[in-house]
Structure 1
Amino acid sequence: MPTNYKRKSNRQSWTTQQLEQAIKAVKSGSPVKTAARSYAIPRSTLIRHLTSPTVSTRLGPLDSVFNSQQEEELVQHLLDLEKRFYGITMTNVRKLAFDLAERNGLPHPFNKSTKMAGKAWLSNFLKRNPKLSFRKPEATSAARARGFNKPAVSAFYDLLEEALKDPKLTPDRVLNADETSVCTVSICFGIVVSLKISLILT
């Protein structure tokens, strides 16, 4: 199944509303040929729907493997993994989708040899859920993950605020730094304390 489906013919260029109006016209006494021409529907198509009202009118890609509730549960699971600093790749998502479909007995077109969902499914899944974004995960130590929490970060900025309020710290002694210079481990607290001590001594 292509990622972006493009029609290769003019089949079913009419709408469901046109079909319903044509059927209603025939039932009201209009000839099939006239109704088909009036509503731009092939005569054979109109006859088929008159004789078999339950026939499917759907063309194009297959239905989604998961319903809206199942897909939302998958999205929330991926977001929960991200909150726990568990790096997950696109390949992991494709394998997870395959396992989810298999364990729930859902019909799917996924590859049973590789046990993964296809790239086309993943592309459409991300389009439907733009809040998800996958990047190549970087190694993060357990110490850094534990250190990056609300109490630790709040304590760091409390110390920083106290240091910046010191009258001896003039604007010309404030250094500009981007986010790469903001540490998430305890060494930063020592830097701030050392900065304050040096200001008091000078």
Structure 2
Amino acid sequence: MRNYKRISERKPMTEAILREARELIDNGVSVRQAAKAVGFHEATLRKRLKEGKGSENLGRFRAVFSHAQENEIVQHCKNLDKRFYDLTIKPLRFLLYSYAERNHIRHPFKPGNQLAGRKLHERFHEEKSVILTDASENQHCQKNGI
């Protein structure tokens, strides 16, 4: 999963899309026309209607944290930054690991070193704009008593 990037332009059929298709069918629209209206193939819609639920993810890879959990972690990191607690790479990785453990979230992290993966912390740094400081800057400040 380290370098996995989704190539397909397919989208998952969410519960909202499935509900919309059911409403169209209940209003007298054919399954084929309802499938065209929601943007899915007819066979896919029939299959999802038969199962009674949509699928939220595609493929075997899944996110460790939901969007709400990620936003909560980002807010926590920003609060730490406001209190002048500079996060480096290792404390952020430990924070992500401990958050997953305390909330009983299934994760692929190794329990031996108690750190989240490198790609996850890179994603938090790049996409979520979590501010990380260089470890040498922290050591310089500690030596000078700042």
Q: TM-score range by the shorter chain?
A: 0.5 to 0.7
Query: CA-atom RMSD, angstroms?
Result: 3.6
Name the residue aligned to 1:77: 80
Residue 36 of structure 1 corresponds to: 35
Query: Are the aligned partners of 1:3 and 1:124 in contact in 2 as well (CA < 8 Å)?
Result: no
Q: CA deviation at 1:132?
A: 0.5
TM-score (ref. length: structure 2) = 0.65
C-alpha distance in 1, partners of 2:79/2:18? 41
Aligned twin of 2:6: 6
Offset at residue 61 of structure 1 (A): 4.2
Tell whether 2:92 aligns with 1:64.
no
Flag the structure with more relative contact order, 1 or 2, with Cα contacts below 8 A and sequence separation at least 6.
Answer: 2
- Number of residue-to-residue matches in the alignment: 140
User: Relative to structure 2, which stretch is displaced further, 40-49 or 73-82?
Assistant: 73-82
Assess if the C-alpha contact under 8 Å between 1:97 and 1:117 holds in 2.
yes
- Counterpart of 1:160? none
Is the radius of gyration larger for structure 1 or structure 2?
A: 1
Structure 1 alignment gaps of length 5 or more? 83-87, 149-202
* C-alpha deviation, 1:18, in angstroms: 6.1
Q: 1:15 to 1:95 in 2, by over 3 A?
A: closer
Task: Flag the 1:63–1:92 CA change in 2: closer, same or farther, 3 A.
Answer: closer
Paired residue secondary structure (1:30)? coil
Matches within 5 A, 1:145-156: 145=145
User: What secondary structure is seen at the aligned counterpart in 1 of 2:113?
Assistant: coil
| Partner deviation per Cα, 1:31-67 (whole Å, 9 max, x = no partner) | 3234334544122221133234433333374152671
In the alignment, what sits opposite 2:144? Answer: 144
Q: 1:1-202 maps to which residues of 2 (within 5 A)?
A: 1-2=1-2, 5-7=5-7, 9-12=8-11, 20-37=19-36, 39-59=38-58, 61-64=62-65, 67=69, 68-77=71-80, 80-82=84-86, 89-130=88-129, 132-138=131-137, 139-140=139-140, 144-145=144-145
SS at match of 1:81: coil
Percent of matched pairs sharing the same residue: 21
